[in-house]
Chains A and B, each alone.
Chain A
Amino acid sequence: MSLWSRIGNVLRGDRLNREIDDELESHIAEAITQGRDPVEARKAFGSALRHREGSRDVRLVASLESLRADAIFGWRQLVKTKITSAAAILSLALAIGACTSAFRLIDALLLRPLPVANPERLYDLSRQGIGPEGKPQTFDGWAYPDFQLMRAAVKEQAELFAVSYAEPVDLTYKSDGEIEKAYLQYVSGWMFPTLGLRPALGRLFTENDDLKPGGHPYAVLSHDYWAHRFGQDSNVIGRTFRMGNEIYEISGVVEAPFTGTEPGTMVDIFVPTMMNPAVTRKDSTWHRSLAVVKPGAVLEPIAQKLEATSRAFEEERAKGFLGISKEEIDNFLNQKVLLEPAGPGVSELQSETRRPLAVLGVLVGLVLLIACANVANLMTAQASARVREMAVRVSIGGGRWRLIQLVLVQSAWLALLAAAVGGLFAWWSGPFVISMINPPDNPARLVLPTDWRVFGFGLAVALGVTLLFGLAPALRASSVNPVSALKGGNDPHSKRRLMHALIAVQVAFCFLVLFVAGLFVTTFQRLSHQPTGFSTDRLLVLDTVAKDPQPPEFWEQVAEHLRGVQGVETVAMADSPLLGGNGWNNFISVNGAPPSGVLSYMRAVSPGWLEAMKIPLKDGRDFRPADAHPGAALVDETFVKVYFDGVDPVGKTFDLSMDEGLRLRYEIVGLVGDVRYRNLREPILPQLYVPFHSVDDKGVARKKGGGVLLVRTSGLNPRALAAVLRQEVPRARPEFRVSRIRTQLEINQSHTVRERLLATLALFFAIVALLLAGVGLYGVLHYSVLQRRREIGIRIAVGAQSGGIARLVTTDVFAMVLVGAVAGVGLGMLSVRYVEALFYQVKATDLQMLALPSLAILAGAFLAALRPVMQAVRIEPVSMLRAE
């Protein structure tokens, strides 16, 4: 029989006993058959029980058997106190679940290595220096010619490859009528072999697929896209799609689960970098440069070589810079090249959410500790109720270790049950949180696998938690002194001291969670109520594209057609939506002076745009259909402050300084109110508006390939009109398509996604923390009233007032609450430094920020204390003393 059969015998204990007894019995029977006297035979045989124990121990694993007995006993203890156990398990489950869920998210986004051959040797190249606005900045975008030089320079130590910032594009598979969106990434042809990726179908790119600009119209699909768009159809190889003016042929499908190098974006289609129109441009930084260093290569010399190469490239380019100060050029050239580990990929979502997720991780950890303290207190209370049982166990020879095991096994029961419930919670809440990060029209797609990493984490948390809340009560139980315990003279205060200390810890953590949550909620509120200067009311934004660039009168025809659609109030056009994230800018010169150092931000808008956006016209007039760019301009109040010292500028002129010394003259026709340009956090920028219709230097109208149509609807829900408008645009002119429809409100809200996520989750954790701490406080008070009911009974009997009794019961605990709250304030002040960057217009030292959590905790403590105090006051001395 092997170890397995011995382990198996643990579970068949009763049968094993019977078998051994049978055999021993048959021995005696045999002896009697052989003619021996029954009494003598039994006497000679000795104690059957002892022999059975002897045989039993060799036939099963004794330590396992004791574990099994403890597990059963522990389970019975849990069942005996159903409600307390359920409360403990649920609170722990909530905390463990939140922890696992947070880990799942953090792991998927920030920690998990990319599914490639060499993630540990993968680095992202970025430049660190002083930006154009004079602030330190790090940027990882590169121009392709620069990249080519760098790649050649470090060929011996590392392989560089380029990947563009993945973005949604419009493409068509069959008729041009059916535009669809797909995430596309331009990648170096040699990326697939460099990362050790293999095709699931067809062939992937090689170096030879990425040689000539515009010469390689081939595409590789991701496995995920192949599955959900084509149902894994193997005939997909050789199919074509149209993007812009180019027809691409599908050459292969890359093996799962690789979906690009940007966690948060799953790339659908890879095309060679040579197909990007900017591939020959020295001034367009449109791609990341990733490096796989050779095994054993040292990073520092590689970075230096890259820096020297890139600097030489930019120095050459800077010779052509005009109208830019020496200091700015120096800042531009003096940039340090950094190689940063990119094993888990690189994406904007990562850098945007790294700190918020870390903060949430800490909050969730604190909630877990609060829950642990609760369970530890519960276990301590239970252990003290069982002190006599422990004493009996010690006196009849139970080893200390067995007692520790007994209590720990019970903790493990709690933790495992909680982990199971918590696992379910995490499984549900992970995707839920992802859906909260998502802007409605541009979902972050994140692979959220549930594998050994997540499972292992959950198990580790459960184990850690068992030790955390189980060890102290276990050690305490095992050190019981049987004589004094059985006499009932054990010191009851020592247990209460431990419980009180835990209360202080709980309150401190709870305060911290509440405090940070308050700051996040206020930040979200301030930011989302930030005045933007325009109205989002009933406003739809239609991203519109034309098959080929179309003349302005056709654009105007489309707008005019939409004005006739039922339910449309006004229609205007612009090059991009407000707060859309993109922008362009130029230096301005007034009265022929050299350009000032302040950039002015620009937007091209049609007549009627001001009215559609409800931006006030302060002076002058709106654009007229006859106005064109360059020529007429609208400016905002900040622009006037910066360039015209606040003097009314209508009728005055300024020059836009372009490349190569070219200047374009504009006459200011109107003054308009300030609006937010790119995002909600930055200060109001000086802005100028030019007409949507532009003409070239000969006065001929320029054709436009894309723009946005802004539609204010008369119905309250602008979305209701979306489908109709999508159809009406091509009906107005067949060359035009709507590629995307958003409401302006959605665009505005996309700027507060991170803040909303932080505020919502922090608030949730704050409520959970307060609830758990309240339950903990209640438990401890309840226990101490139970323990001291004899004393209280006597005090009442000798005439103590209710107020005195309430004070007696609550003084210690409330002192602990106070200690905890003070510690919490300290912790909050210390920790707030690390999260300050996430706040907006709120200070940690605001009295209100400190007062709110204090009040919440006080109110919670008061509620928790109410019932135990009532119990204490209502103790009937007579019945109490009689019972003793």
Chain B
Amino acid sequence: MAKADSLQGSMDLLVLKILSRRPGLHGYAIMSAIQDISGEVLRVEEGSLYPALHRMEEDGWIRAEWIRKETGRRARLYELTAAGKRQLGAEESRWQAVTLAVNRVLREA
């Protein structure tokens, strides 16, 4: 993902998906996970991750809590809410529909 905004909503989808599999990640870990799993194809622009996280938190899809790590540093960990799970379902099926449609265009054009 060269630009977070280039595919609308895909950032939300990725964050929600990651958090649904591994609850309790902090921002940096979410970013690393997206990069690792996608085999370094998708890169999240570091700064724009946080406004997105905070927006989803405002919308009630994820919630966050401060913890103190064993190194003594504080970190803010995120996890999915029930509303977030529903949102993830909706985002996934939308994504499927879009990619299906795009594939069909590529195939049949």
A binding-site residues for B, Cβ under 8 Å: 1-2, 6, 20, 22-24, 26-27, 29-31, 33-34, 44-48, 50-51, 54-55, 58-59
Contacts and interface: CB of A to CB of B under 8 A. Distances in A.
Nearest to B76: A23
A59 B46 contact: no
Contacts of B24: none
Give the secondary structure class of A's interface.
helix
Residue among B45, B46, B60, B74 facing the most chain A CB atoms (10 A cut-off): B46
Given A48-B47, A55-B54, A59-B58, 15 more contacts: A1-B58, A1-B60, A6-B58, A20-B50, A20-B54, A24-B50, A26-B76, A27-B26, A27-B46, A27-B50, A30-B26, A31-B28, A46-B45, A50-B47, A58-B55
B54 A45 contact: no
Contacts of B48: 51, 54
A23 B29 CA distance: 13
A34 B29 CA distance: 10
A30 B50 contact: no
A46 B54 contact: no
A30 B28 contact: yes
A27 B28 contact: yes
B39 interface: no
Contact of A51 (B28, B50, B55): B50
Given A29-B73, A30-B75, A46 B47 contact: yes
A51 B26 CA distance: 17
B46 A22 contact: no
A53 B58 CA distance: 15
Given A6-B58, A30-B28, A34-B28, A51 B73 contact: no
Nearest to A45: B46
B65 to A, nearest CB: 12
Contacts of B73: 26, 29
B47 A51 contact: yes
Contacts of B58: 1, 6, 58-59
Contacts of B75: 26, 30
Given A1-B60, A26-B74, A26-B76, A54 B50 contact: yes
B76 to A, nearest CB: 5
Nearest to B60: A1
Give the secondary structure class of B's interface.
helix
Nearest to B56: A58
Nearest to B46: A45
Contacts of A29: 73
Nearest to B49: A27
A22 B26 contact: no
Interface string B65-78: 00000010111100
11 contacts: A2-B60, A6-B58, A20-B50, A26-B76, A29-B73, A31-B28, A44-B46, A45-B46, A54-B50, A59-B54, A59-B58
Closest 3 A-B residue pairs measured CB to CB? A54-B51, A30-B28, A46-B47
Contacts of A27: 26-28, 46, 50
B32 interface: yes
A58 B51 contact: yes
Contacts of B27: 23, 26-27, 30
B51 A51 contact: yes
A47 B48 CA distance: 10
Contacts of B57: 1, 59
Contact of A58 (B28, B54, B60): B54
Interface in B13-72: 26-29, 32, 45-48, 50-51, 54-55, 57-58, 60, 71
B92 to A, nearest CB: 24
A48 B50 CA distance: 10
A55 B32 CA distance: 21
B26 A47 contact: no
B49 to A, nearest CB: 8
A18 to B, nearest CB: 12
Nearest to A53: B51
Nearest to B43: A44
A129 B74 CA distance: 91
B28 A55 contact: no
Contacts of B28: 26-27, 30-31, 34
Residue among B28, B32, B45, B75 facing the most chain A CB atoms (10 A cut-off): B28
Contacts of A59: 54, 57-58
Contacts of A34: 28, 32
A45 B47 contact: yes
Contacts of A51: 47-48, 50-51
A725 to B, nearest CB: 82
A130 to B, nearest CB: 77
B8 to A, nearest CB: 17
Nearest to A52: B50
B26 A26 contact: yes
A58 B57 CA distance: 9
Nearest to A59: B54
A361 to B, nearest CB: 50
A29 B28 CA distance: 10
A16 to B, nearest CB: 10
Contacts of A1: 57-58, 60
A48 B49 CA distance: 12
A812 B58 CA distance: 60
B15 to A, nearest CB: 14
B96 to A, nearest CB: 28
Residue among B57, B58, B60, B73 facing the most chain A CB atoms (10 A cut-off): B58
Nearest to B29: A30
